[in-house]
Chain A
Amino acid sequence: MKDVKRFNPPKKEIALHKKFFNILSFNLNLIFKNIRNRKRSTVIIILGLTFSLSILYTASIWSLTSQKIIADDYVESLDYEMYIESWQDDIEIYNEMYDFTALDSLVEQVDWIFPAIALFNYEDKNDTYEWYPEDNQEDMDNPLSLSNGFVITNRAMNRISLNLEIEGNSSMQSGEILISYTQAKQLEEIYNEEITPGYKINLAISRRIPNTDRGETQFQDFEIEDTTFENYTVAGIYKFVGHNTIIDRLVGGGATESAGTIFDSIFFPADVLTPYDFYRMTNSGGIFPRLLVKTNAQQLREQGISNMPDNLLALRDRIQVSYYHAYCYVLDHALAEMTNEYARAFGSTNLFVPTIATAVFLTFFSTQITIKKRREEISFLRSKGAASSQIIGIFFGEFFIISFISLILGIGVGILLSALIPSFGQNQLFNRSLFIQYFQEIEISPYDIEILTILILGSYLGLTLLNVIIYVRKDIQETMLVTQKGQWILELSVKILAFVLTVAGFLFFLLLEYRKLAENSLNYGLSLISASYRALYLFIAVLFFSCYFLSLGVNFILRNMKTIYNRIFKKTGFFIQKNMLRIRKSFTELTFFTVLIVCLLTTIIIVRSTSIHNNNIEDDYRQGADLRIQSTIPVNITKFENQIQSIEGVQNALGFYSIKASVRLYDIEVFGIDPLKFLQIGRWIEPSLVGMSAETALTQLANNPLGVIMSKFLVERFRKNIGDPITIQDIRGGTYEPLILSAIINSAPGLGVSHGYDPKMNRQVTEWVLVNKEIIRGLGINNGTLFLAATEENADIEYISEEIKKINPFAVINPEKINPDYIGFFIREHIPPANNILLVGAIFVNIIGIVYIFISTDFILEQRRKENAVLLALGGKQSKVRKSIVNEILSFITTSFAIGIPVGFLASMVTLTFIKPLLITREVVPMTIHINALILIVMIISLFAASLIGIIPIIRKQMKYEIVHELRAIV
């Protein structure tokens, strides 16, 4: 055989790396070209992803930064966090404890405070002078005046004065003292002279309080000896204005307590006393000194804000383990309250979760639509021989680049928002310094960023890729109808299973976990707050599934409303029904999303309006009556009641007598009231009392002078029944004879809850009881700080307030904040309240809803260009075709709204069973659903109208296409 010389063209050798870069650059070019050609969908996807990511990043950055700032600021606002005392009266032991405590890494400063008793107008009294009871002593025309006296360093005074309003000078020089306003007023009556800063005064110091139970009622029982001081100058006159403060706990009193001592104390400067004077004041035996401990805020919040109370308690344990005789009082309650409030405030940002979820869905649907629109492109690529992996690779590359851009933007926007949002704080005005502070102190957790990015972008890219794979596969197996049907059944089964599991999980969590926690919690604390938002996450999942299945129902209804369409839309009814029948898949998505948006919007608005309404009712209940009068100094109750009642427009006034006591181990506050007046003046509600009306309970108390009304907790704790005797101990003046339990109370107007802590009220103890006022008057207590009054209808509150102010310039009438030191107000300067978050969330949901309806309708109508062209070619009028489309959209929007609103209503009822801890501190007044019809209507109508109005340009655009062009395009 003849050899045939074949021509072999020389192969061009291409290096592997060159080949790789060629393919890479080709694919990248294609990817960037695709992104450029789809500007609108790219922008929408980037916006959706950026929005979702930035909100999550903001929450993380803002949370970390604000907890740092809040913790530092709050700790700085406290005078001290702990005081230490010992029953060993040995100054050396105190010195040891001082050194031990000061060296602890958690401690910033330790200060001494030496308590004593100061006596004024003692000069002309002999040793047998009867001083007790103080308000009925031997010579009331020339009485002895008692006060707490404290020797304190200027450094400590600087911290304590955070809680004082001082007229004059707080920094004391040698021979100067700081006295309370109450003491100044008492001395004015005794000396018949005005006491102002600069006044010269004589006083004696006792470091022993006589025991009146043992009959120590004479002047000599103070054992004053030579500790008298003459010609001391009043450097300043203070009023106590604090709440969460160690000095208040150390000294006692404040707020509502009639017999409070912080109102009535004096301070000596330890730094400038002569050693002799210092010795005379502090070393005469009796009352032990105390150590005041200020912690380092940065150290205290080291492991996060929620660990602050534990860190403080650990310090207490360290001291008490080392010094068995030491007693440490810790302000952990205030810190726990702060962490609770912080958790609540931040927990409420979880109310953004539905908005983020809808934004993610919007992004996902937009991507899906983009992929659907590109089915032809997939077919083209396949026809040109592209492998499935190549097509998937190109799509993946595009969405990866989009995700990367969104990630960069998300981080940028997240950082900006986390400084910007808190700088708008509570008063919604931009605070530049807060913005700069946040920006400078910004804390970013790379771990959080990583997790959130994986959560959003990972799931987004995963789902998108899955979608592309499905489309690429569909292209190959389009005719395999049996497989598709099987796949549909499988998909539906998986969805139903997931739904059932989610509902079961939610119910399990709500009924077992959450309920158990809620029943065992007095206040809405950290654990309940976190349980609340876990329940919220689960419920959102339930809601998503519910809306999906409901949308299937909505579509079924829409497909089978032929008679209604014919009746309402006459001739276009046929076209509407037929269109409803055919666009099943796109329509399911559209109705699902619309039902979901409407449902979420309704839920958010109802939850918000219920929360606002409930807060208002609770605030009214806390206020107690038409007028709440809080006097910053105790005043004679009977006299002030009469003065208030004499003002035109006031019907009746009631003063609260109060004193601290205990029931077994529980510290309580005993309020003495005129029961019938309280019944008439107070804004009582149905569940104020347990098992009886307020009228019955208070009438019984009026008829039974030894009656006592107690909380359900105490009654159950001591297994008492109505009519049983119960003893109140440690009351000033000795043990009570048994009182008779006459009623059980949950809460009272003006006083708040009878058991548990209500941080919005300015009470320190967590338990109070009501007795007839005569019991407390019998102890010699006639002064009080809290008053309620009822006014006549249409009374001029402003005029009445002015008149009360004339009588008592230290009265605060209807205070906007009953407890201005409520930590919630402080935190709200950094984190907007839940209601604002809900409102912003509702607006976002609304916008997302409108955008989605536009995108989706545009897509659906785009798919129908062929049909519209045919209809027009057959003689259909543009107006008729347009009307048919509008009617169709109107039908689906109306039906979706008609389903979404009641479902939203139901959802809000369920939500309100577990969301309370995120909205309120505790349920003082039972929360009942309230609908702000105006906002609901405005939101719903705006969504409805914006959807319809926004669709008009889309329809007009569809009608602008030339028939011939469209018909030719079909070929």
Chain B
Amino acid sequence: MEDAFVSVNNLSKTYVSKGETLNILCGTSFEVSEGELICLLGTSGSGKTTTLNILAGIDRPTSGEIFYNGQNINEWTLDYLYDYRLKEIGFIFQEFHLLEHLTSLENILVPLLLNDWEEDDARERSFNLLKQVGLVNKAMNLPNELSSGEKQRVCVARAIANSPSLLIADEPTGTLDSKTGDDIMKLLVGISKKSKMTMIYTTHDPYLTKIASRILVIQKGMIFESNVKNLEDVDYDNIIFEKNNKGEIL
């Protein structure tokens, strides 16, 4: 467990809504090694986003442990957690969450300035990142002047601005058409490989699993390891996983 880059033990998350208890995650465990490209596959409401939020330190689990580089992030103070989110994690939201009053360049500037960069240096780096995602000509455009694909590119650039070790993408293609989705995925994989970043992304689209080095399937709050490499043609909604005695899917 100590060797794993990210290790999740017995993770559970419960919400109480209108007096009703909802178990989103039910004591699940998995591990991620450094440099891996993990796909977390699951239907809507299966707990994908909750898992990523907990991994990114945005949300806290009800119980369980998350080890990042051998350290239990649940035991960290808030300040540690902020630093973790800022420096170690790059988060790409499905709904972009770009700041509407800032231009593309300025949106990328935000995490750098939060990380105490000098503004001039930060601008230069942001510009380079925009170049990297192919959006130099849209540097001064506001989010409402960008297409969904362009917005997601800005999100990618913003996520990698502080060179995180772990890139987390929550359904990065969820709101995009398949062509644009493919482009974004290619961009993400390219960046993660080039920067040797570990990446975890979620999707409900089996087609997007093929680029992952490993697939984790999430169902009813439980995460299972899948040995199936290509789930493209599988009707995964009706799949029945068989588990071995270690809990792994056969």
A→B interface (CB under 8 Å):
566, 571, 574-575, 578-579, 581-582, 866-867, 870-878, 880, 962-964, 967, 970-971
- Least CB separation from B79: chain A residue: A877
B87 at the interface (CB under 8 A from A): yes
Contacts of A876 in B (CB 8 A): 82, 86, 110, 114
Chain B's interface: helix, strand, loop or mixed, by majority? helix
Q: Are A873 and B85 in contact (CB under 8 A)?
A: yes
B→A interface (CB under 8 Å):
53, 56, 58-59, 78-79, 82-87, 89, 91, 93, 95, 97, 99-102, 106, 109-111, 113-116, 119, 158, 162
Q: Are A877 and B82 in contact (CB under 8 A)?
A: yes
Q: Are B58 and A871 in contact (CB under 8 A)?
A: no
Q: Are A873 and B97 in contact (CB under 8 A)?
A: yes
Q: Are B114 and A874 in contact (CB under 8 A)?
A: yes
Quote the shortest CB–CB distance from B50 to chain A (angstroms): 8
Q: List 25 A-B contacts (CB under 8 A).
A: A571-B113, A574-B106, A574-B109, A574-B113, A582-B100, A582-B101, A866-B97, A867-B99, A871-B110, A871-B114, A872-B82, A873-B58, A873-B93, A873-B97, A874-B86, A874-B114, A875-B82, A875-B83, A875-B114, A876-B114, A877-B82, A877-B114, A878-B78, A964-B53, A971-B95
Quote the shortest CB–CB distance from B238 to chain A (angstroms): 28
Known A566-B119, A875-B82: A964·B59 in contact at CB below 8 Å: yes
Contacts of A867 in B (CB 8 A): 99
Q: Are A578 and B53 in contact (CB under 8 A)?
A: no
Q: Are A875 and B59 in contact (CB under 8 A)?
A: no
Contacts of A967 in B (CB 8 A): 58, 93, 97
Measured in the bound complex, the distance between the Cα atoms of B98 and A866 in whole Å is 10
Contacts of B100 in A (CB 8 A): 582
- Least CB separation from A967: chain B residue: B97
Contacts of A875 in B (CB 8 A): 82-87, 89, 111, 114-115, 162
Known A571-B116, A574-B113, A880-B114: A873·B91 in contact at CB below 8 Å: yes
Quote the shortest CB–CB distance from B68 to chain A (angstroms): 14
Quote the shortest CB–CB distance from B110 to chain A (angstroms): 6
Residue from the list B53, B95, B102, B158 in contact with A874, Cβ < 8 A: B158
Measured in the bound complex, the distance between the Cα atoms of B100 and A876 in whole Å is 17
Quote the shortest CB–CB distance from A836 to chain B (angstroms): 48
Contacts of B89 in A (CB 8 A): 875
Contacts of B102 in A (CB 8 A): 578
Q: A874-B114, A874-B158 are in contact. List 6 more A-B contacts (CB 8 A).
A: A571-B113, A579-B101, A867-B99, A875-B111, A963-B59, A967-B97
- Least CB separation from A964: chain B residue: B59
Contacts of B82 in A (CB 8 A): 872, 875-878
Contacts of B79 in A (CB 8 A): 877
Q: Are A581 and B101 in contact (CB under 8 A)?
A: yes
Q: Are B53 and A870 in contact (CB under 8 A)?
A: no
Measured in the bound complex, the distance between the Cα atoms of B113 and A856 in whole Å is 28
Q: Are A578 and B97 in contact (CB under 8 A)?
A: no
Q: Are B91 and A874 in contact (CB under 8 A)?
A: yes
Contacts of B91 in A (CB 8 A): 873-874
Contacts of B58 in A (CB 8 A): 873, 963-964, 967
- Least CB separation from B50: chain A residue: A964
Contacts of B93 in A (CB 8 A): 873, 967
Q: Which of B59, B110, B115, B162 has the most CB of A within 10 A?
A: B110
- Least CB separation from A876: chain B residue: B114
Residue from the list A566, A574, A578, A874 in contact with B85, Cβ < 8 A: A874
Measured in the bound complex, the distance between the Cα atoms of B110 and A64 in whole Å is 64
Known A578-B106, A871-B110, A875-B82: A970·B95 in contact at CB below 8 Å: yes
Measured in the bound complex, the distance between the Cα atoms of B162 and A527 in whole Å is 74
Quote the shortest CB–CB distance from A570 to chain B (angstroms): 9
Measured in the bound complex, the distance between the Cα atoms of B85 and A963 in whole Å is 13
Quote the shortest CB–CB distance from B160 to chain A (angstroms): 12
Contacts of B84 in A (CB 8 A): 875
Measured in the bound complex, the distance between the Cα atoms of B94 and A967 in whole Å is 11
Measured in the bound complex, the distance between the Cα atoms of B99 and A574 in whole Å is 13
Measured in the bound complex, the distance between the Cα atoms of B93 and A970 in whole Å is 12
Contacts of B83 in A (CB 8 A): 875
Contacts of A970 in B (CB 8 A): 95, 97
- Least CB separation from B164: chain A residue: A875
- Least CB separation from B59: chain A residue: A964
Measured in the bound complex, the distance between the Cα atoms of B57 and A155 in whole Å is 97
- Least CB separation from A869: chain B residue: B97
Measured in the bound complex, the distance between the Cα atoms of B170 and A964 in whole Å is 13
- Least CB separation from A971: chain B residue: B95
State the 6 A-B residue pairs at the shortest beta-carbon distance, nearest first: A875-B86, A582-B101, A875-B85, A877-B82, A964-B59, A876-B114
Quote the shortest CB–CB distance from B118 to chain A (angstroms): 9
Measured in the bound complex, the distance between the Cα atoms of B54 and A873 in whole Å is 11
- Least CB separation from A867: chain B residue: B99
Quote the shortest CB–CB distance from A532 to chain B (angstroms): 48
Contacts of B53 in A (CB 8 A): 964
Contacts of B106 in A (CB 8 A): 574, 578
Quote the shortest CB–CB distance from B73 to chain A (angstroms): 14
Contacts of A873 in B (CB 8 A): 56, 58, 85, 91, 93, 97
- Least CB separation from A873: chain B residue: B58
Measured in the bound complex, the distance between the Cα atoms of B58 and A963 in whole Å is 7
Measured in the bound complex, the distance between the Cα atoms of B100 and A571 in whole Å is 20
- Least CB separation from A575: chain B residue: B113
Contacts of B56 in A (CB 8 A): 873
Measured in the bound complex, the distance between the Cα atoms of B122 and A575 in whole Å is 14
Q: Are B110 and A874 in contact (CB under 8 A)?
A: yes
Quote the shortest CB–CB distance from B16 to chain A (angstroms): 13
- Least CB separation from B97: chain A residue: A870
Measured in the bound complex, the distance between the Cα atoms of B114 and A96 in whole Å is 101
Q: Are B119 and A870 in contact (CB under 8 A)?
A: no
Measured in the bound complex, the distance between the Cα atoms of B93 and A574 in whole Å is 24
- Least CB separation from B118: chain A residue: A571
Q: Are B95 and A870 in contact (CB under 8 A)?
A: no
Contacts of B111 in A (CB 8 A): 874-875
Contacts of A963 in B (CB 8 A): 58-59
Measured in the bound complex, the distance between the Cα atoms of B115 and A880 in whole Å is 11
Contacts of B116 in A (CB 8 A): 571
Quote the shortest CB–CB distance from B163 to chain A (angstroms): 13
Contacts of B59 in A (CB 8 A): 962-964
Contacts of B85 in A (CB 8 A): 873-875
Measured in the bound complex, the distance between the Cα atoms of B206 and A341 in whole Å is 90
Contacts of A964 in B (CB 8 A): 53, 58-59
Measured in the bound complex, the distance between the Cα atoms of B95 and A971 in whole Å is 7
- Least CB separation from A875: chain B residue: B86
Contacts of A575 in B (CB 8 A): 113
Quote the shortest CB–CB distance from A651 to chain B (angstroms): 73
Measured in the bound complex, the distance between the Cα atoms of B91 and A582 in whole Å is 25
Q: Which of B100, B106, B109, B119 has the most CB of A within 10 A?
A: B119
Contacts of A581 in B (CB 8 A): 101
Measured in the bound complex, the distance between the Cα atoms of B40 and A187 in whole Å is 122
Measured in the bound complex, the distance between the Cα atoms of B89 and A963 in whole Å is 16
Measured in the bound complex, the distance between the Cα atoms of B111 and A872 in whole Å is 10
- Least CB separation from A582: chain B residue: B101
Measured in the bound complex, the distance between the Cα atoms of B235 and A170 in whole Å is 119
Measured in the bound complex, the distance between the Cα atoms of B114 and A870 in whole Å is 12
- Least CB separation from B114: chain A residue: A876
Contacts of B99 in A (CB 8 A): 867, 870
Quote the shortest CB–CB distance from A885 to chain B (angstroms): 14
Quote the shortest CB–CB distance from B80 to chain A (angstroms): 11
Quote the shortest CB–CB distance from A414 to chain B (angstroms): 46
Measured in the bound complex, the distance between the Cα atoms of B102 and A962 in whole Å is 23
Contacts of A962 in B (CB 8 A): 59
Quote the shortest CB–CB distance from A868 to chain B (angstroms): 10
Known A876-B82, A964-B53, A967-B93: A578·B113 in contact at CB below 8 Å: no
Measured in the bound complex, the distance between the Cα atoms of B115 and A870 in whole Å is 15
Measured in the bound complex, the distance between the Cα atoms of B54 and A962 in whole Å is 13
Measured in the bound complex, the distance between the Cα atoms of B158 and A183 in whole Å is 104
Contacts of B113 in A (CB 8 A): 571, 574-575
Quote the shortest CB–CB distance from A573 to chain B (angstroms): 8
- Least CB separation from B170: chain A residue: A967
